[in-house]
C-alpha cells in the first residue's frame, strides 16, 4: 500500500475558474458576503486568495456543520477568527435558532448601509449577499433554509451547484448561490487530505488510501476513544502500523478478498463513516 503523500496537487476544474469570473461580474451588486467554512476544518476549508473575489466587501464567516464538529475546537476557532477582526458564527444549518442568528447578524451588518440610505431619503434596500465557499460546505443548504423551501439542489458530495443563481427570501435578503470553488494548486498535503476526508474534493484527486491513513492518524492522535469504539483499534504513541490496522478493520467489515486486504474498501469506509456522520465530534485542524 502506498502511504506516501502526493504534494503539489495540480488541478483546477475549468468550471471553478468560470464560476470565479461570474462572481466577479456580480461584484458591484454585492452588499455582504457569507464566506462558508466547514467547522471541522476551519482553516483547511477556507478559500485561499478569497480577497481576489470578495475584495473589501463586509463579510460574515459562517462555520457550518458545527453539529458534527468538536465543540471545544469550534469555540477556539471562533475566538481565533474574532481576534483577527472577523465577524464569525458557527451553525448547524438544520437548526432554526442558528438560521435566525444568521438573519439577525445580516441585518446588523447592513445597518450602516441602510442608515446612509435613510439619511439620503432613500428607502431600505434588500441585502444582496454572495454565498461563497469550497464544495460541499453547505452553501445551497443555507440558501434553502433562508428561503424556507428547497429552491436549489443540495447533496453530500462536491460539485452539486453548477451555476450562479439569485434567490429571494422573505427576510429582505437576496442570496447568490455559487458553485464550490478551490484554488489551482493544493500545495499542503495536510490541507489536501483534510479536504478529502470531509468530502470537499473527490478522492480520485488523491490516493484514497492516503486519505484513509490520514483519518486513522488524526483519530489516533486526537480522538483515540473514537478509534477504539468505532474500529476496535488500540491507540498508540508509536508509529502506526497502517497495514495491521487496515487488516483488522477489513476483517471487521468484511473487506477481505481471500487472504488479501481490500485497502481501498477500508479507506472508502473510513471516508464514508465521516460523510454519513458515524464519526463525528471531530475537527482535523487541531493546531493554531
Ligand X SMILES: Nc1nc2c(ncn2[C@@H]2O[C@H](COP(=O)(O)OP(=O)(O)OP(=O)(O)O)[C@@H](O)[C@H]2O)c(=O)[nH]1
Q: List the single partner that 282 binds among Mg ion, ligand X, none, CB under 5 to 8 Å by kind.
A: none
- Longest Cα–Cα distance in the chain: 79
Residue 94 contacts ligand X per CB under 6 A:
yes
Residue 283 contacts ligand X per CB under 6 A:
no
Q: List the single partner that 136 binds among Mg ion, ligand X, none, CB under 5 to 8 Å by kind.
A: ligand X
CA distance 65 to 213: 23
Residues of span 115-144 touching Mg ion by CB under 5 A? 139-140
> Cα 46 to the chain's mean position, in Å?
8
Q: Which is nearer to ligand X, 17 or 244 (CB)?
A: 17
Residues of span 146-205 touching ligand X by CB under 6 A? 154-156, 158-161, 179-180
Residue 42 contacts ligand X per CB under 6 A:
no
In degrees and rounded to multiples of 5, residue 181 shows phi and psi of: -125, 155
Helix (H) or strand (E) holding 60: strand 59-64
Q: Which is nearer to ligand X, 91 or 255 (CB)?
A: 91
Nine-digit cell string for 58: 463586509
CB of 68 to Mg ion, least distance (A): 18
CB of 98 to Mg ion, least distance (A): 18
Nine-digit cell string for 268: 472508502
Helices (H), the chain: 14-26, 51-54, 71-83, 96-119, 139-147, 189-197, 208-222, 224-231, 242-253, 263-275
Are 242 and 1 contacting, i.e. CB atoms less than 8 angstroms apart?
yes
Are 7 and 249 contacting, i.e. CB atoms less than 8 angstroms apart?
no
CA distance 241 to 262: 16
Report the residue from 161, 199, 209, 283 that binds Mg ion according to the rule CB under 5 A.
161
Q: List the single partner that 93 binds among Mg ion, ligand X, none, CB under 5 to 8 Å by kind.
A: ligand X
Are 219 and 282 contacting, i.e. CB atoms less than 8 angstroms apart?
yes
CB of 28 to ligand X, least distance (A): 24
Q: Which is nearer to ligand X, 104 or 276 (CB)?
A: 276
Q: List the single partner that 92 binds among ligand X, Mg ion, none, CB under 5 to 8 Å by kind.
A: ligand X
Site for ligand X, rule CB under 6 A: 64-65, 67-68, 91-94, 133, 135-141, 154-156, 158-161, 179-180
Site for Mg ion, rule CB under 5 A: 139-140, 160-161
Amino acid at each position: 500500500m502506498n502511504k506516501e503523500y502526493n504534494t503539489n496537487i495540480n488541478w483546477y476544474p475549468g468550471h471553478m475558474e468560470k464560476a470565479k469570473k461570474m462572481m466577479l461580474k456580480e461584484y458591484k451588486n454585492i452588499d455582504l458576503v457569507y464566506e462558508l467554512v466547514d467547522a471541522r476544518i476551519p482553516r483547511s476549508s477556507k478559500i485561499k486568495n478569497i480577497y481576489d473575489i470578495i475584495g473589501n466587501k463586509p463579510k460574515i464567516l459562517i462555520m457550518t456543520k458545527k453539529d458534527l464538529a468538536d465543540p471545544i475546537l469550534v469555540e477556539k476557532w471562533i475566538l481565533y477568527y474574532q481576534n483577527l477582526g472577523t465577524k464569525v458564527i458557527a451553525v448547524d444549518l438544520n437548526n432554526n435558532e442558528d438560521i435566525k442568528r444568521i438573519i439577525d447578524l445580516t441585518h446588523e451588518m447592513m445597518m450602516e448601509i441602510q442608515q446612509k440610505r435613510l439619511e439620503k431619503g432613500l428607502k431600505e434596500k434588500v441585502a444582496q449577499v454572495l454565498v461563497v465557499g469550497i464544495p460541499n460546505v453547505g452553501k445551497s443548504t443555507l440558501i434553502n433554509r433562508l428561503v424556507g423551501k428547497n429552491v436549489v439542489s443540495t447533496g453530500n458530495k462536491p460539485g452539486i451547484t453548477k451555476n450562479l443563481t439569485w434567490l429571494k427570501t422573505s427576510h429582505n435578503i437576496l442570496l447568490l448561490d455559487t458553485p464550490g470553488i478551490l484554488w489551482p494548486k493544493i500545495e499542503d498535503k495536510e490541507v489536501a487530505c483534510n479536504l478529502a476526508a470531509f468530502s470537499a474534493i473527490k478522492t480520485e484527486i488523491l490516493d484514497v488510501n492516503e486519505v484513509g491513513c490520514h483519518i486513522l492518524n488524526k483519530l489516533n492522535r486526537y480522538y483515540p476513544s473514537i478509534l477504539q469504539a468505532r474500529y476496535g483499534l488500540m491507540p498508540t504513541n508509536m508509529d502506526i502500523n497502517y497495514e495491521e490496522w487496515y487488516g483488522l478493520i477489513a476483517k471487521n467489515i468484511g473487506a477481505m478478498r481471500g487472504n488479501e486486504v481490500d485497502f481501498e474498501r477500508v479507506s472508502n469506509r473510513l471516508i464514508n463513516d465521516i460523510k454519513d456522520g458515524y464519526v463525528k465530534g471531530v475537527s482535523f485542524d487541531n493546531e493554531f
